Amino acid sequence: MQIIDGKKIAEEIKGEIREAVDKMCARNLKPPHLAAVLVGHDGGSETYVAQKVKSCEQVGFRSSLIRYEEDVTEAALLRCIARLNIDTDIDGFIVQLPLPGHINERAIIEAIAPAKDVDGFHPENAGRMAIGLPCHVSATPAGIMELFRRCRIDTQGKHCVVLGRSNIVGKPISILMSQKSQPGDATVTLCHSRTRNLADITRQADIIIAAMGQPDFLTADMVKDGVVVIDVGTTRIPSTDTRSGWKLKGDVKFDEVAPKCSYITPVPGGVGPMTIVSLLRNTLQAAEQRNRP
Ligand code: GUN
């Protein structure tokens, strides 16, 4: 059994991004610039955005954080997006989700210029990804594909079971895993809350990607020996062991599932760090596009 060290792989990739940035600077080009829009003070969103800003610094990107209070109007947020869309100094930007209930998330995502949508959430990017055209692939699915690539995990012809059908992870990763590519070329089953006999399906899986946000959902009796398990769950649960008073819990009961696996990602330190480097890569790609003659 091998525990996939997502943190270490992410650090390697950050080194590669840093080299690309140094080359841009040596050509007298401005380094990539990522902006993040954060609404309100949700603890999880604050942490994620702080990690994104810190990672920008580590690779030599410029970053800007634009904050709004919880009661910001949808119109004000749309005006902010319109400004970022035409700001030639910003290569890419994200609007951290979830947004407060009075704001239509779809309208916000659809207002982002697809070329600057480094989260890959705009329907144009999601559609292009689905048919294999160049685009910004959303960060978590892109990070999982990179883990398969870097760990040289063979996915061709394997039965990949995806748990969860979210637009951010479940749906896009099931499309990427079924694409004619390496990694990819898998036979994919997408399971969700209405799936019948779920454990019968997961027991047939060569690869399981768990992304439903239900802590400790996948147990040892639900997997076969030698399975590859990718845990995308990041639920915050109260904890007396940490200074912050909470810790992250994955969708997989790690201690009992790990001994049956050929590979498994831990939480934290598995998929999470890969998500951030994928965002950095998309931003680098957007900046390179800007510099094309
Ligand atoms: N909220 C949870 N994950 C994400 C993400 O990848 N991007 C944004 N913008 N918000 C999120």
pLDDT above 90 (res 222): yes
Examine residue 11 and state whether it is found in any structural domain, yes or no.
no
Residues 84 and 170 reside in one and the same domain: no
Map tokens 């997997």 to a residue. 223
Examine residue 15 and state whether it is found in any structural domain, yes or no.
no
What per-residue confidence (pLDDT) applies to 292? 76
Examine residue 7 and state whether it is found in any structural domain, yes or no.
no
In whole angstroms, what is the distance from residue 286 CA to residue 20 CA? 13
CA 151 to ligand 1 centroid distance, Å:
25
Number of domains in the chain: 2
Confidence of residue 290 (pLDDT cuts 50, 70, 90): confident
Q: What is the position in ligand 1's atom list of the atom closest to the CA of 45?
A: 1
Tokens of 129: 């990804």
Examine residue 277 and state whether it is found in any structural domain, yes or no.
no
Residues 177 and 55 reside in one and the same domain: no
Most distant pair of Cα atoms in the chain: their distance: 59
> ∠ CA(14), CA(15), CA(16), 5° rounding?
90
Examine residue 222 and state whether it is found in any structural domain, yes or no.
yes
What per-residue confidence (pLDDT) applies to 291? 79
- The pairing of strands 261-264 and 92-95 is unpaired
Q: Average per-residue pLDDT in the chain?
A: 97
Residues 226 and 166 reside in one and the same domain: yes
Catalytic residue list contains 2: no
Residues 97 and 53 reside in one and the same domain: yes
Sorted by sequence, the CB contacts under 8 Å of residue 213 that are 6+ apart come out as 164, 233, 234, 235, 251
Determine which one of 119, 206, 231, 251 is catalytic: 119
Examine residue 233 and state whether it is found in any structural domain, yes or no.
yes
Using alpha carbons only, how large is the chain's radius of gyration in Å?
A: 19
CA 259 to ligand 1 centroid distance, Å:
31
What per-residue confidence (pLDDT) applies to 79? 98
- The pairing of strands 246-249 and 235-238 is antiparallel
CA 97 to ligand 1 centroid distance, Å:
5
CATH of the domain at 220: 3.40.50.720
What per-residue confidence (pLDDT) applies to 195? 98
Map tokens 């007298």 to a residue. 28
Map tokens 């604050």 to a residue. 46
- Give the number of C-alpha atoms closer than 13 A to the C-alpha of residue 257, restricted to the C-beta side: 26
Q: Is the CB of 97 under 6 A from ligand 1?
A: yes
Confidence of residue 132 (pLDDT cuts 50, 70, 90): very high
Residues 103 and 143 reside in one and the same domain: no
Residues 154 and 85 reside in one and the same domain: no
In whole angstroms, what is the distance from residue 113 CA to residue 124 CA? 9
Confidence of residue 233 (pLDDT cuts 50, 70, 90): very high
Alpha carbon distances (Å) from 13 to 16, 58, 59, 263: 5, 12, 10, 20
Q: Is the CB of 277 under 6 A from ligand 1?
A: no
Catalytic residue list contains 119: yes
Residues 145 and 258 reside in one and the same domain: yes
Residues 89 and 153 reside in one and the same domain: no
Q: Are 146 and 176 in contact (CB under 8 A)?
A: no
Alpha carbon distances (Å) from 180 to 75, 129, 176, 293: 42, 13, 9, 32
CATH of the domain at 107: 3.40.50.10860
If you count DSSP H runs as helices and E runs as strands, how many of each does the chain have, helices first? 10, 11
Confidence of residue 123 (pLDDT cuts 50, 70, 90): very high
pLDDT above 80 (res 270): yes
Residues 152 and 194 reside in one and the same domain: yes
Residues 95 and 200 reside in one and the same domain: no
Question: Which pTM value belongs to this model?
Answer: 0.97
Per-residue burial over 284-293, b if 16 or more Cβ lie within 10 Å, else e, is bbbbeebeee
* Percent above pLDDT 90 for the chain: 98
Residues 97 and 165 reside in one and the same domain: no
Map tokens 């009961």 to a residue. 253
Examine residue 121 and state whether it is found in any structural domain, yes or no.
no
Question: What is the mean predicted confidence (pLDDT) over 269-283?
Answer: 98
Residues 158 and 245 reside in one and the same domain: yes
Range of the domain at 106: 28-113
Examine residue 78 and state whether it is found in any structural domain, yes or no.
yes
In whole angstroms, what is the distance from residue 76 CA to residue 62 CA? 24
Alpha carbon distances (Å) from 46 to 43, 73, 104, 209, 285: 5, 20, 20, 26, 25
